[in-house]
Amino acid sequence: MKPLPVIAIIKETLLTVWQKRFGLFRALIVTGLAMSALDVAMRHSLKSVGWVSFLLLFALDVILGGALFVLFAITCHRLVLLGETSVPQYGLLSWTSRETRFFGWGVVSCLYGLLVIGPVLIATFLPVFFVDFADKETTKYWGTLGAFMGSVPAVYVLARLAVLFPATAIGERRNTDWAFDTTAKNGWRLVAATTLITAPFLLGIHALPVDHSLLGDFLMGLVDYAFMAIGIVALSLSFRFLSPTSPEAGGANFSSSGRA
């Protein structure tokens, strides 16, 4: 298995985003606006509801928000891998079996992540029962430690499965065995290629003192989804390099000088 050229992928991602900026903006603006509006509506409405209403609204947010993100992500993958003619001018706004499979792989990936992080959380919380369960600071410390320790292997597993999403977006029918084979020895390289561009900027932006008004949160949501689109582009290009059957397979656009 060829090592994923992280630096070359990052450079190609920035170049692709710039070259396709107008097409990406036009194709993703509808779902991007809808997701940002939904996020703001849910965030501000969930603050003042009872538990029953909270659970119902949360379930609605997961389903509706997940469906919008599926359309957003598939539009982005197809535009990068198959060209602008592969999606409508304003992106995908209808649901087919392809979108259902994409959503299903999202659920499967979450289950894999829970299988990894769950035992770690349980193991790190066990000392709480022997130290002082009533001590909130102790509970918070062990909970944070468990979440961090569990998130590291969970991120790795999710990266190994991530190629299922661009594959499904362009109509390929794959499974988890194929995903693990395709990403063999490239898990952390995939993490680096898809997050080194977006994570520092997002962390910096969210560290700024922002007024959490409806407008402020809505604009921040748009920024989040803009950077998310960049990460999706990086995943598309990584898939194209790693998958022997993908469009332009083998990383024809990546020079050896850009390998990491």
Domain presence at residue 145? no
- pLDDT score for 135: 60
How many domains is the chain built from?
Answer: 1
- pLDDT score for 42: 85
- pLDDT score for 127: 63
Rounded CA-CA distance 257/101 in Å is 37
- pLDDT score for 33: 96
Domain presence at residue 120? no
Q: Output the CA–CA distances (angstroms, integers) from residue 258 to 4, 159, 183, 251, in the order listed.
A: 10, 21, 19, 11
- pLDDT score for 60: 86
- pLDDT score for 86: 95
Low-confidence ranges of the chain (pLDDT < 50): 250-252, 255-260
The CB-based long-range contact list for 57-65 (8 Å cut-off, 24+ gap) reads 64/38, 65/35, 65/38, 65/39
Distance of CA 225 to the CA centre of its chain: 10
pTM, two decimals, is: 0.86
- pLDDT score for 259: 43
Phi then psi dihedrals of residue 94, to 5 deg: -125, 160
- Select from 2, 25, 54, 23 the least CA-distant residue to 243: 2
Rounded CA-CA distance 61/219 in Å is 19
- pLDDT score for 68: 97
Radius of gyration of the chain (CA): 20
Domain presence at residue 200? yes
Give 92's contacts (C-beta < 8 A, 6+ positions apart).
31, 71, 74, 75, 78, 99
- pLDDT score for 248: 53
- pLDDT score for 246: 61
Domain presence at residue 130? no
- pLDDT score for 252: 45
Domain presence at residue 195? yes
Are 159 and 191 a contacting pair, CB within 8 Å?
yes
| Residue 101: Cβ-neighbour burial (10 angstroms; 0-12, 13-18, 19+) | buried
Rounded CA-CA distance 89/222 in Å is 19
Domain presence at residue 148? no
Domain presence at residue 119? no
Domain presence at residue 214? yes
Can you say whether residue 83 is alpha, beta or left, with left for phi > 0 and alpha for psi between -120 and 50 degrees?
Answer: left
Q: Which domain holds residue 56?
A: 6-100+164-258
- pLDDT score for 250: 45
